[in-house]
């Protein structure tokens, strides 16, 4: 990681001394690249990513944090210039930024899956395989609770209250909340725990309180969850741009479409401001209009 930090400093010196960029521009580059470095450290990456999927996972995380489109666009611009410099310096052969598009500046509603698409997605993991059983439990948990991917990978068994069908999560700002979890999701978690997780920890001789683990007994990363979902979406023939946050959008949308109160959804999602939750009313209204158009005899 120290080598990556030094490379960033070299790039910033080049940008200031040779390109003559202003102090404000250098400060913006520094902020963006430090944010990227923090992501690499969290994901335990020790080299600059060469795959667009890794950059997409980073950008999806910014979107999950409700970063403005303008901020994400600036980040993409900063990374493009940085990777161009890495290639020119022969520090990098592949430039994943060539495959990354800037976000559009419109205000489209977030992507949500239909109930049929969710069923297809959940059916993709091969549950006769150990990782397939883990992935089924993971996907069921995301859809059953609407939790953020950062909350998912930090879930511990002490956070599950099976008798009450509740799960404790720690959201943004370490705010704690108790939210419902379905019997279906709990059943898959139990199967995964008994058949895969606990035998794995016994085999590798590790202690790990997190529920969802990788195949070495370590904790899952956000990037790993992102890649799991992408892979199963491809298998399921789902062509939408699906991220872990898409399942959160889908969870909220399906609750509202089936009559849930907006305030209840706000509490479950952990939104401090109901205006953040109100975007889902637009999704629900879209559903209402579609039903109306299909069923009213004179439309």
Provide the residue ranges of all domains of the chain, joining segments of one domain with +.
2-99, 115-295
What span, in angstroms and rounded, lies between the C-alpha atoms of 185 and 143?
9
Our answer to whether residue 172 is catalytic in this structure is yes
Range of lowest pLDDT (221-225, 235-239, 242-246, 277-281)? 277-281
Average pLDDT, the chain: 87
Our answer to whether residue 245 is catalytic in this structure is yes
Residue scoring higher pLDDT (165 or 1): 165
Q: Which residues in 22-58 are b (16+ Cβ under 10 Å) and which e?
A: eeeeeebbbebbebbbebbeebebeebbeeeebbbbb
Contacts of 92 (CB under 8 A, 6+ apart): 48, 50, 83, 86
Catalytic residue among 134, 245, 249, 254: 245
Rg (CA), the chain: 21
The two structure tokens encoding residue 242: 């699906």
Our answer to whether residue 248 is catalytic in this structure is yes
pLDDT for 253 equals 86
Predicted TM-score (pTM) of this structure: 0.63
Binned at pLDDT 50, 70 and 90, residue 258 comes out as: confident
What is the longest distance spanned by two Cα atoms in the chain? 70
Our answer to whether residue 134 is catalytic in this structure is no
Catalytic residue among 29, 83, 232, 280: 280
Catalytic residue among 172, 175, 231, 263: 172
Catalytic residue among 134, 136, 230, 248: 248
Say which CATH class 2-99 falls into. Answer: mainly alpha
Instruction: Name the residue among 296, 73, 252, 221 with its Cα closest to residue 146.
Output: 252
Q: Does domain 115-295 have CATH number 1.10.443.10?
A: yes
pLDDT over threshold 60, residue 135? yes
Percentage of the chain modeled with pLDDT above 90: 56
pLDDT over threshold 70, residue 248? yes
pLDDT for 296 equals 58
pLDDT for 234 equals 94
74: number of Cβ within 10 Å: 17
Q: For the segment 102-133, what is each residue's pLDDT rounded down to a tens digit?
A: 776 545 566 789 999 999 999 999 999 999 99
Torsion from C-alpha of 11, 13, 14, 18, nearest 10 degrees: 160
Q: For the segment 11-46, what is each residue's pLDDT rounded down to a tens digit?
A: 999 999 988 888 888 999 999 999 999 999 998 888
Our answer to whether residue 197 is catalytic in this structure is no
pLDDT for 244 equals 84
Q: For the segment 159-217, what is each residue's pLDDT rounded down to a tens digit?
A: 999 999 999 998 766 678 898 999 999 999 999 999 999 999 999 998 899 999 999 99
Our answer to whether residue 271 is catalytic in this structure is yes
pLDDT over threshold 80, residue 273? no
Catalytic residue among 134, 148, 222, 254: 148
Q: For the segment 212-221, what is each residue's pLDDT rounded down to a tens digit?
A: 999 999 999 9
> Crossing angle for the helix pair 279-295 and 244-257, nearest 10 degrees?
60
């Amino acid at each position: 990681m120290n080598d990556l930090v030094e490379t960033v400093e070299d790039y910033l010196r080049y940008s200031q001394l040779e390109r003559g960029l202003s102090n404000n521009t250098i400060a913006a580059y520094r902020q963006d690249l430090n944010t990227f470095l923090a992501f690499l450290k969290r994901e335990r990456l020790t080299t600059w990513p060469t795959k667009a999927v890794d950059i997409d996972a980073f950008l999806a995380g910014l979107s999950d944090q409700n970063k403005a489109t303008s901020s994400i666009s600036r980040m993409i611009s900063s990374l493009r210039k940085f990777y161009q410099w890495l290639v020119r310096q022969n520090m990098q052969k592949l430039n994943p930024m060539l495959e990354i598009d800037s976000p559009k500046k419109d205000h489209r509603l977030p992507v949500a899956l239909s109930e049929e698409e969710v069923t297809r997605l959940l059916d993709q993991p091969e549950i006769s395989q150990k990782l397939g059983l883990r992935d089924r439990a993971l996907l069921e948990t995301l859809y059953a609770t609407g939790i953020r991917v950062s909350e998912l990978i930090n879930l511990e068994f002490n956070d599950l209250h099976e008798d009450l069908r509740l799960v404790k999560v720690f959201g943004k700002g370490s705010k704690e909340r108790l939210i419902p979890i379905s019997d279906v999701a709990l059943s898959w978690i139990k199967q995964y725990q008994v058949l895969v997780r606990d035998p794995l920890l016994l085999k590798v001789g590790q202690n790990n309180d997190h529920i969802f683990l990788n195949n070495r007994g370590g904790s899952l990363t956000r990037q790993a969850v992102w890649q799991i979902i992408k892979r199963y979406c491809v298998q399921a023939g789902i062509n939408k741009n699906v991220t872990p946050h898409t399942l959160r959008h889908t969870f909220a949308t399906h609750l509202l479409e089936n009559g849930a109160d907006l305030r209840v959804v706000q509490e479950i999602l952990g939104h401090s401001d109901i205006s953040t939750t109100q975007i889902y009313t637009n999704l629900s209204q879209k559903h209402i209009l579609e039903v109306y158009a299909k069923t009213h005899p004179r439309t």
